[in-house]
Structure 1
Amino acid sequence: MTRNPAPAGGGPRRKAEIFTATLGLLAARGYDALTIEGVAQSSGVNKTTIYRWWPSKSELLRDALLHAPAMQFEDADTGSLRGDLEAIAGQVQALLSDERRRAVVESALVGAVRHQAMRELVVSFLDDRFGRHQPVFERAVQRGELPPDFDPAPLVDAMAGALWMRVLVRREPVAASFTDDLIGLLTDGAGRAAQRPAQPGR
């Protein structure tokens, strides 16, 4: 899918209003019923203007997921891998604990199961967020907490998956002890990987 950049005109406030309306309608109606016409009515922006900036709802929804303030995470740099992972986990927990933002995530995941276009959007969003967290693991390699060839993708998937399962499926709160145990398991495993001798050919 071709990336359509956020519009240069219109101002940040107008774009934020459109993104907020887009995600709100996704949460309330789901991917199938989301339309640019509905976004125009909800945001108060003329639909021809929205179509000029985003020719399809997929392109609009992609930018909304990537750039809406509600879906942003702060950079984590605490001085240790465990501290950084705890900071990231806390942001994921805050996202999923907020009723409106959780509804967006749930609607996006349901849509991803049913529609290829929505699945590509979700993968694009996750890849973008993973890329933003790469400095966390680069710093951990420099500190000797991770081996140079460590692949952080399974660690990130395991952390996010456990939190999503806890909140979205089990509908249980994420206690501090749960997060501590989860991060402990992940960092202990990563630490053992750092101590393993390098394998030939890797």
Structure 2
Amino acid sequence: MAPRKQQEIFDATLRLVAEKGYDGLTVEGVAERSGVNKTTIYRWWPSKAALLGAALVEADVLGFDPPDTGSLRGDLVALVEGMIRLLTEEPSADIAVAALGAAVRHPELDARRFFADRFAREREIFDRAVARGELAASADPMLVVDLLAGAVWLRVVFRGLPAPDGFADAAVSALLDGV
């Protein structure tokens, strides 16, 4: 399948899940919105869960490149700022909350691939920090990411509060320097 057409299918999938939730997402709806036949979609993805799982990882709208500011602190601040943008700016905010929220209620939607892919990219931040001598090799990168991402999700999604200016710096400082 042509990469552009694949992105159109992923975009249609993510926008539909944002508009209608996982229960309202259908392969027929994706086919109609993306201008392809539903048999084409089923040829590549056997179910709506497989389609949404692929879209979460491969769609340009949720694309992610790990920051490289030259320091662990700078990279983590940039990472948190990226998480804030993901959860507060359109169209990614509605998509991320709807799709990842659906993964909690629908085990057939395996979001582990999304998180594994994202963490594999985030891991580069920690590998560079270890190489620069900023971080002990025994540090747990996943714990660091979980603590920072948890702070963003809790503030922005669950509490419905804005992340004020300086939130990323404060979260990273609390983690690296302690409270």
Alpha-carbon distance in structure 1 between the residues aligned to 2:92 and 2:167: 21
| Residues 89 and 160 in structure 1, CA contact (< 8 A), matched pair in contact too | yes
Give the aligned residue type for 2:100: L
Alpha-carbon distance in structure 2 between the residues aligned to 1:168 and 1:75: 22
Alpha-carbon distance in structure 2 between the residues aligned to 1:86 and 1:58: 33
Give the aligned residue type for 2:165: A
Return structure 1 stretches of 4+ with deviation > 6 angstroms. Answer: none
Q: Among 79, 84, 93, which residue is 1:93 paired with?
A: 84
Instruction: Return the TM-score normalized by structure 2.
Output: 0.93
1:89-148 deviation per Cα after TM superposition (whole angstroms, max 9, x unaligned): 111111111133111122123312221112x2x222111101111111011111222111
| Residues 65 and 121 in structure 2, CA contact (< 8 A), matched pair in contact too | no
* Equivalence for 1:45: 36
Matched, 1:160 2:149: yes
Alpha-carbon distance in structure 2 between the residues aligned to 1:146 and 1:36: 46
* Structure 2, unaligned runs of 5 or more: none
1:36-70 deviation per Cα after TM superposition (whole angstroms, max 9, x unaligned): 11100111111111111112112211110001111
Greater RCO, CA 8 A, separation 6+:
2
Matched, 1:169 2:148: no
1:142-179 deviation per Cα after TM superposition (whole angstroms, max 9, x unaligned): 12221111111111001011111111122222122222
Give the aligned residue type for 1:94: R
Please report the RMSD computed on the Cα atoms of aligned residues, expressed in angstroms: 1.3
* Equivalence for 2:63: 72
Instruction: Return the TM-score normalized by structure 1.
Output: 0.83
Q: Among 147, 166, 185, which residue is 2:136 paired with?
A: 147
* Equivalence for 1:123: 112
* Equivalence for 1:55: 46
Highest Rg: 1 or 2? 1
- Alignment size in residue pairs: 178
1:72-93 deviation per Cα after TM superposition (whole angstroms, max 9, x unaligned): 1122111110011111111111
Alpha-carbon distance in structure 1 between the residues aligned to 2:51 and 2:166: 39
Alpha-carbon distance in structure 2 between the residues aligned to 1:106 and 1:133: 20
* Structure 1, unaligned runs of 5 or more: 1-8, 190-202
| Residues 81 and 187 in structure 1, CA contact (< 8 A), matched pair in contact too | no
Alpha-carbon distance, 1:12 to partner? 1.5
| Residues 22 and 64 in structure 1, CA contact (< 8 A), matched pair in contact too | yes
Alpha-carbon distance in structure 1 between the residues aligned to 2:153 and 2:138: 27
Matched, 1:34 2:16: no
